[in-house]
Structure 1
Amino acid sequence: MPLGQLPPSMLQSLNLLPKDNVSVTLFTRHSIRHVATGKGLAGYDLQLTEEGIALAQYWGGHLITSTGRQVLSCTTSPIQRCIDTASHMLFGAYGDTTKIEIIQNNLLVEPGSFVEDHALASPFFRDLGALGFINQLIQNKLPGMKNSAQGVLDILNMVYALEQKQAEGLNLVVTHDTIIAVILSYTLGIAEVTSADWPKMMEGLFIWFDGDNFEESTMQMVWRGEQKQIVIAQLKEQIQMHHA
């Protein structure tokens, strides 16, 4: 069964979603792709495997049937494997890839949320590998980079805006492991990201917000079967203190 390849905590997390009229976002890594070479660095050209296609379709269908929510929006990284993941999830949910428009957003890939100058940053990515690069990024020690904390807030603000458009349903956001890893480091207070923290393919966060504006909102986040509450104002304060 294709869902057997889904990280088990994703099914556990479904039980923690709110039951009332709340818009929820699945902020997920793309499905299973072909294997990368060289320090685990995945080029933009790597595509989904047949197993990855099947997993995305089954997971998309299961999300709709198990939660009773309909997809409200679909936002992805411009990289093809993310677009394809979203398309196959929509096909699994509805048997139709045109029911929901797939919107590409540069915040969900690099250069985007964290990288400002690709020419300056890319040699460090190649030398350090993905894990080493992210830990240097979190400490803001790399040239050509945006402040990583601000990048996280920009992404969360985007998710908040998606959820304000309609009262109930599911927003689908498909991105990359590096983007999710940085968000986890700040929201969970992880000083140094390890391989155990690293998001697997087709693994993601469920996010929803309470509050009438982003700056004063509280974010509920479910990751690996556990729910955490993050007050955005407190997160911003912690970030400012850390980088003072």
Structure 2
Amino acid sequence: MQIDNRRALVVGGSGGIGREIADLFAQSGASVVVADRAAAPDGSHKHVGIDVTDEASVRRAIAEAREILGGDIEILVNSAGILSQCYAEEMTLEEWRRTIDVDLTGVFLVSREVVGPMAAQGWGRIINIASQLGIKGAPMMTHYAAAKAGVIAFTKSLALEVSGRGVLVNAIAPGPIDTQLSSDLDPEWRAKKISELPIGRFGKPAEVAPSALLLASEPGGNLYTGQTLGPNSGDVMQ
């Protein structure tokens, strides 16, 4: 699965799933820049700061990443995200908007900045990290599920716009994964979710990263566009 010498940007790549994707891409021969609010503590990847909810910040980060990489971005991974729990009837508009802004609008803003240059050069990969909850929903997560469902729909629609110009756009919808985000969830919710999973456990970030490598690679990813891959412990079966 070749990504040798490809220029890759992993947004939200300082921890969790994004970090594992950045590590795997680098191990597989890509030049990688991580965009996140803060760099990884060990400074393992070249880093640019970004606030995915801020248009100007996104533009600055993309420009800085291009300079570091020495050319236009060829592979983009949108992995920035936040997660919280709240019943819809108790949710503030601020919490709703913050989740939509980070988890959905951020995907749009970053993708918009890179898709034109990708199409101009006739090759590109955009990989959006969604969630199985965007397919099945979940109590106390209406805001998160709505945002992730939007990511899946955005992925399909953008794929229809740009696949004919060589830019393949896909999503990954992981099931529950052991990350800092999920560790903050209600313990009873976690226990119930584990009991529902056919595999019987949460996944690990390193078990999601190979799906991103497949989608980014040649020839492995060449026939995927508008698709949503589901490394989800069997939580959603299609």
Both proteins in one fold, TM over 0.5: no
Query: TM-score, normalized by length of structure 2?
Result: 0.35
Q: More relative contact order in 1 or in 2 (CA 8 Å, sep 6+)?
A: 1
Query: TM-score, normalized by length of structure 1?
Result: 0.34
